[in-house]
Amino acid sequence: MSQRKNKTSRSQEEREKEKEDLKDVEPSVDEVAQRLREREDLCQTAFLGYGKWDLLEMSPVWGVYNKRPKEPSQAMKIMKSYLVHGVERYVPANRIPIILPRSWVQTDSLTTVVGKGGDDLPEIKWTKEADLGNIKGASGQHRFEGLKLYREHLVRELKGANRSQRELETMRDLRATGQADESQDDSDVETERSDELKTQTDEANRLKGELVRVGQWGFVLYDEGKLVRSLQTVKN
């Protein structure tokens, strides 16, 4: 009985000692808040500006400053959101933070006004040193993957619209030359076919226009040199 009591007592003492030891390891609320403030100051120090470019042409490197793994299901959800709600490529909340050497970008091409969007958001101008395949993305990997899926969807839809358009044009040309079976044709059917051809033509043109701009996206640019130097002074 005495041995069991001593064993329990030692166990309690060990637990109390572990709690005391953890006080030196676990940061207090104030310490966490201070670290967050330091990181915010760090971002402001390294901030270069806002601009737009083709995200799919850039193809950022992921996983250097953000270790979150790629989740295909998340990319699919985002792609479906693009289909239902449209692509909000320039709104501040959706802009992708990218980290690169300052010498890669003409900083006077950027804006520091966060509210600018759409056509008002300036296009990023790169220097000859820029390597668009080696720019690091701090977040936005799933938006990028979702955008690739969205582009694939647009390509499939455009192929279908083009096929329907060609078939309808062929039927129209056959009727015009008297080679089509007109036994069941009447003015209502002719009008319906003409409207259908116009619908498919308009849809094909819409899809072509969307594909031209599908990769356009808003970015927040940070100076990697300042970021790396400042990170060395900020506790992880």
Q: How far apart are the C-alpha atoms of 138 and 187, rounded to whole Å?
A: 60
- Please name which of 62, 67, 234, 48 lies closest in space to residue 143, comparing C-alpha atoms: 62
pLDDT the model gives residue 48: 94
In angstroms, the first-to-last Cα distance of the chain is 48
pLDDT the model gives residue 199: 86
pLDDT the model gives residue 66: 78
Work out the burial of residue 31: count CB atoms within 10 Å of its CB; fewer than 13 is exposed, 13-18 middle, 19 or more buried. Answer: exposed
pTM over 0.75: no
Q: Which residues of 175-192 are buried (b: 16+ CB within 10 A; e: fewer)?
A: eeeeeeeeeeeeeeeeee
- Side-chain half-sphere exposure of 47, counting CA atoms within 13 A: 14
| Domain architecture of the chain: domains with CATH | 49-149+213-231 (3.90.1530)
Mean pLDDT estimate for the chain: 80
Average pLDDT over residues 42-66: 88
CA 170 to chain centre: 41
Residue 28: φ, ψ to 5°: -75, 170
Average pLDDT over residues 205-223: 93
Sign of the alpha-carbon dihedral angle for 143, 149, 155, 158: negative
Q: How far apart are the C-alpha atoms of 214 and 115, rounded to whole Å?
A: 22
| Residue 131 in tokens | 């390597």
Q: How far apart are the C-alpha atoms of 186 and 54, rounded to whole Å?
A: 49
CB 127 within 8 A of CB 56: no
Q: Is the pLDDT of residue 232 over 60?
A: no
